[in-house]
Amino acid sequence: MGLGLRLLPLLLLAVAALSPLVLAASSGGQEVYPCSQCHAYIAVSGQSRANEFHGIDLAEGAHAGLYCSNCHQAPQVDLLVGDVNISIPGLHPRDSLMGLNRVCASCHADIYADYRVHAHGNQTYLCNDGVAEMVEGYKGVGYWFHLCPEYVDLKVAPARACVECHNPHAPTMLAPSILPGPSDRPSPPDESGIALGGVVAVFVGLALILWTAPLKEVEQP
Amino acid sequence: MTGPGRVDGKRRSLLKAGVLAGISFVAVSRSTLMSMLKPVGLSEILGVPPRRETEETLTRKAEWKERQVKEWCIEEAEAVCRERGEGSEECVEARRRCEAVEVKATPARPGVAFAMALDVNKCIGCRRCAYACVMENNVARNNGIEWIKVLEAPREGEAIDFLKARLDYTDAPKDGMVYVPVACMHCENPPCVMACPVRATWREPDGIVVVDYERCIGCRYCMTACPYGARHFNWGVPETSVLELNPNMHILGNVPRQVHVVEKCTWCIHRTRDGGVPACVEVCPVGARVFGDLNDPESPIRRVLEEYGAFVLKPEAGTKPRFFYFFGPARTPPAGREGGEG
Chain A residues within an 8 Å CB radius of B96: 147
B60 and B139, same domain (yes or no): no
Q: If contacts are CB pairs under 8 Å, which of residues 88-127 in chain A contact chain B?
A: 114, 117-125
The residue segments making up the domain with residue B92 are: 55-101
Distance of alpha carbon A57 from alpha carbon A67, whole angstroms: 10
**Partner residue facing B141 (CB), from A138, A144, A176:** A138
Contact A1/B at CB under 8 A: no
Chain B residues within an 8 Å CB radius of A117: 298-300, 303
Q: What is the number of structural domains in chain B?
A: 2
B127 and B166, same domain (yes or no): yes
Cβ separation A138–B135 shorter than 8 A? yes
Domain end marker among B47, B72, B101: B101
User: Is the per-residue pLDDT at A207 higher than 60?
Assistant: yes
B165 and B65, same domain (yes or no): no
pLDDT bucket at B42, cuts 50 / 70 / 90: low
Chain B residues within an 8 Å CB radius of A177: 126, 337-340
Cβ separation B279–A123 shorter than 8 A? no
Chain A residues within an 8 Å CB radius of B283: 122, 141-144
Mean pLDDT, residues A125-142: 90
Chain B residues within an 8 Å CB radius of A122: 281-287, 289
**Residue of B50, B186, B190 lying closest to B112 (CA atoms):** B186
Cβ separation B287–A122 shorter than 8 A? yes
Does this model's pTM top 0.95? My answer is no
**Partner residue facing B334 (CB), from A137, A174, A179:** A174
Q: Nearest-CA residue of chain A relative to B125?
A: A178
Within-domain flag for B10:
no
A182 phi, psi to nearest 5 deg: -75, 160
Cβ separation B126–A124 shorter than 8 A? no
B153 and B275, same domain (yes or no): yes
What number is the ipTM of this complex?
0.76
Within-domain flag for B26:
no
Cβ separation B332–A137 shorter than 8 A? no
B242 and B94, same domain (yes or no): no
B120 and B90, same domain (yes or no): no
pLDDT at B127: 95
Distance from the A3 Cα atom to the nearest Cα atom in chain B, whole angstroms? 42
B170 and B285, same domain (yes or no): yes
B207 and B315, same domain (yes or no): yes
B90 and B179, same domain (yes or no): no
Within-domain flag for B295:
yes
Distance of alpha carbon B234 from alpha carbon B221, whole angstroms: 14
What's the CATH number where B315 sits?
Answer: 3.30.70.20
Chain A residues within an 8 Å CB radius of B338: 174-177
Task: List C-alpha distances in Å: A122 to A116, A185, B131, B239, B279.
Answer: 11, 30, 16, 30, 10
B89 and B218, same domain (yes or no): no
Within-domain flag for B39:
no
B229 and B80, same domain (yes or no): no
The answer to whether the beta carbons of residues B215 and B199 sit under 8 Å apart is yes
The answer to which of A10-19, B49-58, B80-89, B243-252 has the lowest mean pLDDT is A10-19
Q: Mean pLDDT in chain B?
A: 87
Within-domain flag for B331:
no
Three-state DSSP string of chain B: CCCCCCCCHHHHHHHHHHHHHHHHHHHCCHHHHHHHCCCCCHHHHHCCCCCCCCHHHHHHHHHHHHHHHHHHHHHHHHHHHHHHCCCCHHHHHHHHHHHHCEEECCCCCCCCCEEEEEECCCCCCCCHHHHHHHHHCCCCCCCCCCCCEEEEEEEECCEECHHHCECCCCCCCCCCEEEEEECCCCCCCCHHHHHCCCCCEEECCCCCEEECCCCCCCCCHHHHHCCCCCCEECCCCCCCCHHHCCCEEECCCCCCCCCCCEECCCCCHHHHCCCCCCHHHHHCCCCCEEEEECCCCCCHHHHHHHHHCCECCCHHHCCCCCEEEECCCCCCCCCCCECCCC
B79 and B130, same domain (yes or no): no
Cβ separation A173–B334 shorter than 8 A? yes
pLDDT bucket at B119, cuts 50 / 70 / 90: very high
User: Is the per-residue pLDDT at B57 higher than 70?
Assistant: yes
